[in-house]
Amino acid sequence: MDQEYNASTTYVLIAIIILLLMMILSTGCFASGFAVGKEVFEPPAVTTPASATDENIRMLSQPENFSIFWDALKLLDENYDGDVPHGRDVTYAAIQGLLDHVEGCDQDSSPPETILQITDAEDPKDAPDNFSFFWSTVNQLYRDCPAIMPEDPAELTYWAANGVIDRLGDKYTMLLPPRVAEDFRIDMESSFEGIGALVEPADEEERTGVRIVHPFENSPADKAGLRPGDEIIAVDGQDVTEMLLDQAVSLIRGPAGSQVVLTVKRGDDPPFDVTITRSRVEIPVIESKMLDDNILYVKLYEFSDPSKDKMEHALKQGLKDGAKAIVFDLRGNPGGRLDRAIQIASMFIEEGVIVKETGQRNMDHMATGDLIVPEDIPVVVLVDGGSASASEIVAGALQDYKRAILIGEQTFGKGSVQTLFDLKDGSMLRVTSAHWYTPKGRQINSVGLRPNLVVSPSLDINEDLQLDAAIDYLKKQLTK
């Protein structure tokens, strides 16, 4: 992160923080448990506000107005599968969340590191746990860095909460602000208004930029000629190369009938502009077709709400049409709902454990008993590095029961389950509530599933070596 710093401002800021800390220590306030209830919230005394911004801060600092923060932390404490911050860690993690967003404020060193170093007492009970220190930091930042602080102080709620969540070191647990949460809900419903393309971060490590994975067939993106691998570097003239993917996507989406100008970088060619008229886009949850030799090909794009019904229809129709073998393509499927994964796995597995869940519930999820595919129908599951989460639950269960073989590449390795909580302001808390294992107890998290037959993809986009390998395998099974 490139920043310019001013030493004098930093010394003033650090001096004030140290002074505040000494005042807090002198009152004898120290950690006494997990600070997630209103009873530990101690807003600072507030004088008559000097401006509208001060008034907004004063209102936000009241416990009832900052309740989203406390509600999120309480849900985290009750549902997270792992250790959570306690006591003074909550206060300083919230401050860290603020300062992570204050880029461009004149500082000579990182205030959060200074704070933590000063307060890292040998005995935890000697550390302060007074949330008014957080509000003092907020006021200090609004005085020193007003231009880069949010106009709506409510934004501080999400900064602070995600500061605490960041301490978990879990990239799948997060608090989504209302706008981002709404986009997430739209994705789960499998329809939205936009250009109609599956995208990923251009920079995987930083989760920034936009790269086209593939445009949906007959979508505005497809008709405009966008191709897999195209990088979108600007939206309506605004650079998005260093913008978080969710933020960039919110610029690309828009009402049906409106236009958006995308600046596209394709390989080594000079960037060019494409004007696209947005429309209502239905995400193709599933694709199915009958291949030669009565081999049914079914590709599932995600485990969204309609995936169970669509998968059931595709399998029943395929079997009715005479399918003798099945290729189940989960390549690039990032996952989705746990219940949909269990239901779809149960279409191939008549009984037994589908997935073992650890955490608050610590339970085995059993097959639903809704078998569709007879046991004498051979099955191949195609997987790759984009097959994650719910995809790995299904693929792992079918592999463990020897109901199918896996062909392709090592899967992503996301062996955790996230529970979604809708909060009253429209935001959404996504919590890793459990970790899961295959029916035989194999751990998938950070490991993934190894295919029975490893096949790398072809560099030629018109050639599918993995699908070819699946078809060859099934043909041999059918001739036995």
Mean pLDDT of 440-454: 95
Catalytic residue among 71, 400, 416, 427: 400
- 421, 431 Cβ separation under 8 angstroms: yes
Question: pLDDT digits over 367-401, tens only?
Answer: 999 999 999 999 999 999 889 999 999 999 999 99
Q: Provide the 10 A C-beta neighbour count for residue 261.
A: 13
Position 100 scores a pLDDT of: 82
Please indicate whether residue 230 is annotated as part of the active site.
Answer: no
Please indicate whether residue 414 is annotated as part of the active site.
Answer: yes
Please indicate whether residue 152 is annotated as part of the active site.
Answer: no
Distance of alpha carbon 234 from alpha carbon 94, whole angstroms: 33
Position 13 scores a pLDDT of: 38
- 303, 391 Cβ separation under 8 angstroms: yes
Pick from 215, 218, 214, 210: nearest CA to 239: 210
- 187, 428 Cβ separation under 8 angstroms: no
- What residues have CB less than 8 Å from 324, skipping those under 6 apart? 293, 294, 295, 377, 478
Question: pLDDT digits over 335-361, tens only?
Answer: 988 999 999 999 999 999 999 999 877
Overall residue count recorded for the chain in this entry? 480
Q: Which domains does the chain have, with CATH numbers?
A: 7-169 (no CATH), 191-282 (2.30.42.10), 286-478 (3.90.226.10)
- 5, 103 Cβ separation under 8 angstroms: no
Question: 0.75 cut: is pTM over it?
Answer: no
Relative to beta strand 197-200, strand 191-194 is: unpaired
Range list of β-strands (E), 236-378: 238-239, 259-265, 272-277, 279-282, 286-291, 295-300, 325-329, 353-359, 363-366
| pLDDT exceeds cutoff 80 at 192 | no
Catalytic residue among 219, 288, 307, 389: 389
| pLDDT exceeds cutoff 50 at 295 | yes
Distance of alpha carbon 79 from alpha carbon 448, whole angstroms: 24
Share of the chain above pLDDT 90, in %: 50
pLDDT band at 103 (very low <50, low <70, confident <90, very high): low
Catalytic residue among 414, 416, 427, 433: 414
Q: What share of the chain is helix, strand, coil (3-state, %, to 5)?
A: 35, 20, 45
Q: Which has the minimum average pLDDT: 194-208, 223-237, 386-400?
A: 194-208
Q: Which has the minimum average pLDDT: 32-36, 90-94, 184-188?
A: 32-36
| pLDDT exceeds cutoff 70 at 105 | no
- 396, 441 Cβ separation under 8 angstroms: no
Answer with the residue of higher pLDDT: 36 or 306. Answer: 306
- 175, 429 Cβ separation under 8 angstroms: yes
Answer with the residue of higher pLDDT: 378 or 26. Answer: 378
Q: Compute the mean pLDDT over every residue in the chain, rounded to the nearest whole number.
A: 81
- 140, 16 Cβ separation under 8 angstroms: yes
